[in-house]
Homo-oligomer: A and B are copies of this chain.
Amino acid sequence: MDLISVEKALETILAESVDFGTEEVNFIDSVGRVLKETILADRDFPPFDRVSMDGIAICSKSFEKGQRTFKIEGIQAAGSAQLTLDNTINCIEAMTGAMLPKNTDAVIQYELTETTKNVVSLKTDDVNYYKNIHKQGSDYKQGSPLLAKNILISAAEIGVLASVGKDKVLVAKQPKICIISTGDELVEVQETPMQYQIRRSNVFTLVALLKRLNLSADTMHIKDDKTVLYQKIKQVLNEYDVLLFSGAVSKGKFDFIPEILDELGVQKLFHRVNQKPGKPFWFGKKGVKKVFAFPGNPVSTYVNCLKYFYPWYQKSIGLNIEQPTAILASDFEFKGSTTYFLQVKIDNKKGHLIAYPLTGNGSGDLINLTFADAFLELPSVQNNFTKGESFPLISYR
């Protein structure tokens, strides 16, 4: 048997990661993409001495001299040019977000004042220099790097991009992906199958799994006809960067895919991995084009996409994802020297991720995937897995 280990399979796949380059997108469309430029502060953060409470701005020297009532000279609104306090015994009302008026250096919030006509009396004896003022450049100086390359853009980064005026942003380009089903037993979702037929489902599961990565893909179905398969796959290999197959890589008489891929110059890097489920997994390449041919069983396709395609894609776009782990809730036994992907339901108990086994009815059991929310990767070198031990977690929710 030409079985390879899960570790070797993953290593082989990661060695085939591909840099698909970069592209510019509107910043608001960059959520979920990977940043490919360093974002610098275009000016100081904050860009001016910024009032951070609504109140009155005074010159603290006057306060220190014992002054407690201040005549209002004017109002400094947010979004207005800086006013100047003409006489330092007076004050200027100042709003949150406004520039601190010239000749003032302290802001006392309204809650600590009382205003009669045009005069404000302080109800506090505690006024510090630069209180309620967010000082210019105190967070970041102009030119400081704010966001590094190769981070995944979330809502937090969107705020930064907007602040520094990056309305266009450079992100990792995404590969063109085609997901292909084969098999004459498959009919479309809206069709009523004959007794011996079933509906196509794995391609859509894969589409949805890729959507979690913010990736879109085209889909295609090809009949079990060698000539047609050859022509169509040849064409798809030309047009796409990555091909994902579901099914048609086991040892059956009608499983032509490995043979056709060989004829088309796609080099097999491995076929069949020492794992359960998902063993008859085929992976190959033709230059920068990569072919992931997953087994046909729903759970096999599912776990292999998560275990192999996900990290391949993440490495390709420059993302470094740490491997999470979870703690086994009960003893579990799996015989044989095979990596076992155990379906589990995760419960967060006081910060501990507890994994409850949900074995289901095997690799054909699509429904069990909906009860579980992750796989626990149980290593091949072990047969008895003890409650409390932690193992790598492959989560899909």
Chain A interfacial positions (CB closer than 8 Å to B): 27-28, 31, 45-48, 50, 52-54, 75, 77-82, 93, 95-99, 109-111, 134, 138-140, 146-147, 151-152, 154-167, 183-186, 189-202, 204-209, 211-212, 224, 247, 250-255, 296, 298, 302, 322, 324-327, 347-348, 350-355, 361-362, 364-367, 369-370, 372, 390, 393, 396-397
Contact = CB atoms under 8 A, between A and B. Distances in A.
A163 B198 contact: yes
B194 A81 contact: yes
Given A205-B162, A296-B97, A397-B154, A186 B366 contact: no
Contacts of A224: 77-79
A205 B158 contact: yes
Given A96-B250, A184-B80, A211-B31, A48 B196 contact: yes
> Shortest 7 CB-CB distances between A and B: which pairs?
A79-B185, A79-B184, A155-B208, A162-B201, A156-B369, A54-B252, A327-B351
A199 B163 contact: yes
Contacts of A146: 367, 370
A134 B364 CA distance: 8
Contacts of A354: 351
A159 B204 contact: yes
B326 A46 contact: no
Nearest to A370: B156
A298 B202 CA distance: 42
Contact of A366 (B31, B163, B197, B326): B163
Most buried by B among A96, A160, A166, A253: A96
A114 to B, nearest CB: 14
Nearest to A51: B252
B163 A54 contact: no
Which interface residue of A247, A348, A366, A397 has the most chain B CB atoms within 10 A? A366
Given A159-B201, A296-B96, A54 B251 contact: yes
Given A77-B224, A155-B212, 18 more contacts: A27-B204, A28-B208, A31-B208, A31-B211, A46-B364, A54-B255, A79-B185, A96-B250, A97-B183, A138-B361, A159-B208, A160-B370, A161-B189, A162-B204, A163-B201, A166-B189, A322-B347, A325-B351
A109 B1 CA distance: 14
